[in-house]
Amino acid sequence: MPTQKKIDTVAELKEKLERCTVAVATNYTGLNANAMTDVRRKMRENDLEYLVIKNNLTYLAADAADRPEVKGIVQGPTALAFGYDDPVRVARVLEEYIRVNRSPLSITGAVLERRALDARQVLALTTLPSKDVLLATVMARMQSPAATLMAQLQAPMVRLAGTLNGPLASLAILLQRRVEQLEAQAE
């Protein structure tokens, strides 16, 4: 008979699985309590969540959330990191923590948009630019043809204006010199 605490844990995890854009599984074997607290603090600083939950409760929550792919990444002692906006940030924060602290923590897989990823694919995510950089790049590339087209359309008008202004400017200079000559003669 399940306890109320387990029922609440499954309900909470179900809600997190439904909301998250990415869930990254890590093996925390070899981490002491202080290191686990440090990982959780680092995740909180980046608006991410990091939970250790029994695998059978995770399986129940995955079924309830209709996210069966989560079961494929949860093997052995597993903690899940949840990200709710930029999926790359979760992988990047974990990879940086592992590298900087030489931590025994290891990334074992992830679920990104209902697709299971292995550890190698998750680490490949860390090399991607952030979501904001990607959006800016796409927008710049979308605007580039329009800007080129506008420049091409404006070029004949600019050349025409230059062609018309050339003789007018020369005439203005000649008239100015003539005025200066007449003023010099009048003195």
Condensed to tens digits (0 to 9), the pLDDT of residues 136-166 reads: 888 887 777 777 777 777 777 777 777 777 7
Amino acid at position 64, single letter: A
- Better-scored residue on pLDDT, 41 or 134: 41
Q: What percent of the chain has pLDDT over 70?
A: 99
Residue 60 has what pLDDT?
A: 92
> Picking from 58-67, 74-83, 131-140, which range would have the lowest pLDDT averaged per residue?
131-140
Pairwise CA distance, residues 40 & 44, whole Å: 6
Residue 38 has what pLDDT?
A: 92
Tell me what the mean pLDDT of segment 50-69 comes to: 92
Residue 140 has what pLDDT?
A: 80
Residue 186 has what pLDDT?
A: 80
Give, for 14, the enclosing helix (H) or strand (E).
Answer: helix 4-19
Instruction: Please state the three-class secondary structure of 123-164 as a single string.
Output: HHHCCCCCHHHHHHHHHHHHHHHHHHHHHHHHHHHHHHHHHH
Confidence of residue 1 (pLDDT cuts 50, 70, 90): low
What does pTM read for this prediction? Answer: 0.67
The phi, psi pair for 178, rounded to 5°, reads -65, -40
Contact of 130 with 42, CB cutoff 8 Å: no
pLDDT higher than 90, residue 81: yes
Amino acid at position 79, single letter: A
Residue 48 has what pLDDT?
A: 93
- Work out the burial of residue 83: count CB atoms within 10 Å of its CB; fewer than 13 is exposed, 13-18 middle, 19 or more buried: buried
Model pLDDT for residues 9-49, shown as the tens digit of each residue:
999 999 999 999 999 999 998 889 999 999 999 999 999 99
Contact of 93 with 83, CB cutoff 8 Å: no
Residue 40 has what pLDDT?
A: 92
Contact of 73 with 111, CB cutoff 8 Å: yes
